[in-house]
Amino acid sequence: MKAIRLFCITLLAVLTTFISKAQQKVQNNKSLLWRISGKDMKTSSYLFGTIHLICPSDYVWTDKMKECLKKSKEVCFEMDMDDPSVMMKAATGLMDNSGKTLEDYFTPEQYKLVEAYVRDTLGMNISLFRNMKPAALQSMFTTKTSDCDNPISYEEKIMAQAKKEKKEIQGLEQPEEQIELFDNLPADTVIKEIMDVVTGKEKDNGEYRNLVSAYKRQDLPALYKLINNSGESPIDLAGFLDDRNKKWIERMEDKMDQKSVFFAVGAGHLYGDNGVINLLRKEGYKVVPIR
């Protein structure tokens, strides 16, 4: 089950990769952690922006973050990372039922390069992915985009602490909702991402290091400036960001009405006109940064 959970965490990381070219506006506040209060809430809840996979030396986890997690009665991720049925649905959702095999998405020359990369870099046999969608392969490649061989997951770290403190763990989405997003990705976009990794076009991690540096400083304006300069994305960003954020607000309200919740979602969801922070404020909540 731990392997399936890690696989699903890499799916979240892939999702972040595809949407991280989206945000247009930022605020001057610099924080990864936000307090949600007001609107007759009995107790405050918290919103934390993550990078789904990050090197241990870059992991940001302050005393304030520990304190707010401890105060919360429940932890809520994008998906319920502790529910075996949710994790299994997310994993099986990447099985390709179109009648195609993975090889059918590539030219013969491309597939040979992909096969060699999977064998030599991941230490795996590509036959394991034969009946899976290309996004499944891309999710495995995500762990190789960082500057270290052993990236860690905020979800895993936070969940471990939540379990230790016997907190309930929930999710904002069902796996079917995220799988639908991947299914709507243009196949050529996913293939290009895969081939960029395989052919070494992503070896220069300067942009990634700058993003991580801004994240470590909790400098959201700098982070979003880097993201905006990273290029254009051919995907439907409204579906990946705005539509999901809008769905989340009502679900967050239902949870916050009952108890204090520590929401941990990808940092790309926090800002913008349709970011979670602004949408909560539009609903009458007070959302302030904590440092």
Domain-located, residue 45: yes
Cβ neighbours around 169 below 10 Å, total: 17
Give residue for tokens 């965490």. Answer: 9
Of 145, 148, 157, give the one whose Cα is nearest residue 264: 157
Output the pLDDT for position 274: 83
Output the pLDDT for position 73: 96
How far is the C-alpha of 175 from the C-alpha of 269, rounded, in Å? 18
Per-residue model confidence as pLDDT tens digits over 70-129 = 999 999 999 998 888 888 888 888 899 889 999 999 999 999 999 999 999 888 999 999
- Lowest mean pLDDT, pick from 48-62, 144-158, 184-198: 144-158
Task: Share the mean pLDDT of the chain.
Answer: 82
Domain-located, residue 26: yes
Domain-located, residue 267: yes
Domain-located, residue 157: yes
Classify strands 33-37 and 286-290 as parallel, antiparallel or unpaired: antiparallel
* Contacting residues for 127 by C-beta, under 8 A, at least 6 apart: none
The answer to whether 203 touches 16, Cβ cutoff 8 Å, is no
The answer to whether 78 touches 171, Cβ cutoff 8 Å, is yes
3-state secondary structure of 265: strand
Report in angstroms the alpha-carbon separations of 275 from 2, 69, 111, 271.
31, 22, 39, 4
Q: Which two tokens stand for residue 214?
A: 């801004």
Domain-located, residue 278: yes
How far is the C-alpha of 280 from the C-alpha of 273, rounded, in Å? 11
Domain-located, residue 122: no
Name the residue range of residue 238's domain.
2-89+150-179+204-290
Q: Mean pLDDT throughout 185-190? A: 84
Domain-located, residue 111: no
Output the pLDDT for position 4: 39
Of 227, 197, 196, 232, give the one whose Cα is nearest residue 211: 227
How far is the C-alpha of 4 from the C-alpha of 7, rounded, in Å? 5
Residue type, 291: R
Output the pLDDT for position 26: 33
Q: Mean pLDDT throughout 144-170? A: 87
How far is the C-alpha of 288 from the C-alpha of 167, rounded, in Å? 24
Say what the pTM is.
0.83
Domain-located, residue 48: yes
Please count the structural domains in the chain.
1
Q: Which two tokens stand for residue 182?
A: 């991947």
Q: What is the band of 158 on the pLDDT scale with cuts at 50, 70, 90?
A: very high
Determine what percent of the chain is predicted with pLDDT higher than 90.
Answer: 45
For the chain, the first-to-last Cα distance in angstroms comes to 35
How far is the C-alpha of 39 from the C-alpha of 11, rounded, in Å? 34
Most confident of the following: 87-91, 143-147, 189-193? 189-193
How far is the C-alpha of 148 from the C-alpha of 168, rounded, in Å? 32
Residue type, 220: L
Could you give the count of Cα atoms lying within 13 Å of 225 in the half-sphere of its Cβ?
9
Of 59, 49, 233, give the one whose Cα is nearest residue 147: 59
Backbone angles phi, psi at 30, to 5 degrees: -120, 100
Q: Which two tokens stand for residue 241?
A: 């960001």
3-state secondary structure of 169: strand
3-state secondary structure of 249: helix
**Residue 32 pLDDT exceeds 60:** yes
Cβ neighbours around 78 below 10 Å, total: 25
Q: Mean pLDDT throughout 157-183? A: 91
